[in-house]
Amino acid sequence: MSDDLHQIWVYLSANPLAGLTLTLVAYQCGLWLFEKLGRRPVLNPVLIAVVLIAGVLSLSGIDYRTYFDGAQFVHFLLGPATVALAVPLYNQFQEVRRSALALVVALLVGSTASALSAVALVWAFGGSAVTILSMAPKSVTSPIAMGVSEQIGGLPSLTAVFVIITGIVAASLGTWVLNLVRVKDWRARGFGMGVAAHGIGTARALQVNEVAGAFAGLGMGLNGLATALLLPTLYHLIWG
């Protein structure tokens, strides 16, 4: 009987649907806890899902490549989900036009501060040059960050880890920080979350307020564009 169960488990663990199912169940568990415990930012559903998935993979012995064979279907949906952010942005187009100058200044300052703080942090702790270059695009959505990292000599896989950690930390603590510095305008709050915390921060902003969500999506997109254009250029000018 135990041999039969073992064979069934081996079959299921190797099936691509197992990775997809695990991803969806883990996120639903995280979302349930998030809602059940009062929607506290520190209980970010993505963070809970990551912990659950890592635990299951470690205990079961399933390697990441096998898991991702199924999880890649969710990964594919990142593109359409990002494009769909144009809908709330379109609804707030007049607000965006009125805030254009402030948004440009905030984008340049935020994007620069994000990259420089990442480089300074790794340098202060004695990190290698490759780690510094991998960390620099941490506040950009994963596909762009990994592409930028590869261009400037970083490790895309390491960059992806930094991106997820940055998004989770910023989305979990962003509301508290914005309250602490008394930023009350939903446009500013959303744009800041989008620039600092990319997709995870944008998802958090959408949960809180429609205007904040629209500006977070704008911030995420513009920061990705600015980083993709400016970071490789600066790298070649300094180290070229």
Which mean pLDDT values do the consecutive 10-residue runs of the chain (240 residues) have? 49 64 89 87 85 88 79 74 75 83 89 86 88 88 85 88 88 88 91 88 84 89 87 76
Tokens found for residue 116: 């420089």
Q: What is the DSSP string of 44-97?
A: -HHHHHHHHHHHHHHHHT--HHHHHHHHHHHHHTHHHHHHHTHHHHHHTHHHHH
Q: CA 209 from chain center: how many Å? A: 19
d(CA 214, CA 220): 10
Angle between helices 45-60 and 16-36 (to 10 degrees): 140
Tokens found for residue 84: 């769909």
Nearest to 173 by CA among 47, 19, 18: 47
d(CA 16, CA 213): 33
Q: DSSP letter at 138?
A: T
Give residue 172's pLDDT: 85
Give residue 151's pLDDT: 87
Nearest to 141 by CA among 38, 37, 225: 225
**149 neighbors 156 (Cβ within 8 angstroms):** yes
Give residue 32's pLDDT: 93
Give residue 14's pLDDT: 54
Q: CA 67 from chain center: how many Å? A: 20
Give residue 5's pLDDT: 45
Nearest to 60 by CA among 3, 20, 6, 16: 6
Give residue 67's pLDDT: 80
Q: CA 107 from chain center: how many Å? A: 17
Give residue 11's pLDDT: 46
Tokens found for residue 19: 């990775």
